[in-house]
Structure 1
Amino acid sequence: MNGGDFADLLRGLSIFLDVEVDGKAALIDALAARAAPIAGVAAEVIAAHVHAREALGSTGFGQGAAIPHGRIPGLEAVTLVVMRLARPIDYGALDDEPVDVAVLLLSPEEAGANHLKALARVSRALRNPQILSAMRAAETADELFEAIDRPALRATRAA
């Protein structure tokens, strides 16, 4: 596991650009719908767990980014869905800024520390202004993936 990004956690077609949603609940539902075929768990189950987690406190942590997340019974592996919105929405973020980038993080119910490690990796990447800016500028899912992957950034840190 590398610490600077979370690209290795992405599976299948899990990046969605310019999605139209009209609020926080709709965003979570849209993320759950797109995660369901990747995760092999019903969208309703995913959405229920993520909405329940969100009720404990906002996962919108600032700079227009959010990491809705949950531990899902029956899930076999950590699953991520990255979504960039067509326009920012009110998410109740900690800094009161609207959200336009969301990364749904789903972990198996028994994931424990692995869930927290994955959450920390996603959070670190989204707090990096260069990565977040590149995610917003991406014109394709491949470009957004490259923004997350950042092999050049890792090579620079290793030198």
Structure 2
Amino acid sequence: MNVHFRLIPEAIATSDASSKAGVLADLAGCFEHAYGFAAADVLEALEEREKLGSTGFGRGVAIPHARLAHVNRPVAALLKLSAPVEFHSADGMPVELAFGLISPETAGAAHLHALAAISRMMREETIHRMLMEATDAETLRASLANANDRDVA
């Protein structure tokens, strides 16, 4: 897997959020916990980006993303939702996976490459199915590790 972003185990979690706003808030908290970013800054940036149009990718996946000044490389967080949440995705499907991305404010191409990498991963049927079937953070981590190992081999 040609990795264009960093995703550490501490940035992979489950969420009981029941609304789009709750998903974004939980993602912001995840970025704070895992990478030390101020959750309020992340949430504000994600909400601003969402105002431009839904980041609902389709197939039950959303890819909320934003850029922040104090970030030095693209980093990601992954939430598996306990119940589907309406996200106004293009295909009309509610979201069960939220793959967040925060990039440096000046990262034009790097941000786009990271988004493309996440998009490709979510279109890969085996990875998509494993993540959708995961019921806890450990299973999510294992599924991503297995996908990464398979791509490296």
Q: How high is the TM-score relative to the length of structure 2?
A: 0.90
Confirm or deny: 8 A CA contact 1:15 1:83 kept in the other structure: yes
Q: CA deviation at 1:26?
A: 1.0
Paired letter, 1:88: P
State the partner residue of 1:147: 143
Paired letter, 1:39: Y
Structure 2: how far apart are the matches of 1:40 and 1:71?
15
State the partner residue of 2:115: 119
Structure 2: how far apart are the matches of 1:154 and 1:41?
30
State the partner residue of 2:91: 95
User: Structure 1: which 5+ runs fail to align?
Assistant: none
- Structure 2 residue 68 is matched with structure 1 residue 72: yes
Structure 2: how far apart are the matches of 1:20 and 1:139?
12
Q: CA deviation at 1:139?
A: 4.2
Greater Cα offset, 47-56 or 133-142: 133-142
Confirm or deny: 8 A CA contact 2:11 2:33 kept in the other structure: no
Confirm or deny: 8 A CA contact 1:33 1:43 kept in the other structure: yes
Confirm or deny: 8 A CA contact 2:85 2:96 kept in the other structure: yes
Give me the identity figure in percent: 33
Q: CA deviation at 1:146?
A: 3.1
Q: After TM superposition, what 4+ stretches of structure 1 lie above 3 angstroms from structure 2?
A: none
Question: Secondary structure in 2 aligned to 1:130?
Answer: helix
Q: How high is the TM-score relative to the length of structure 1?
A: 0.87
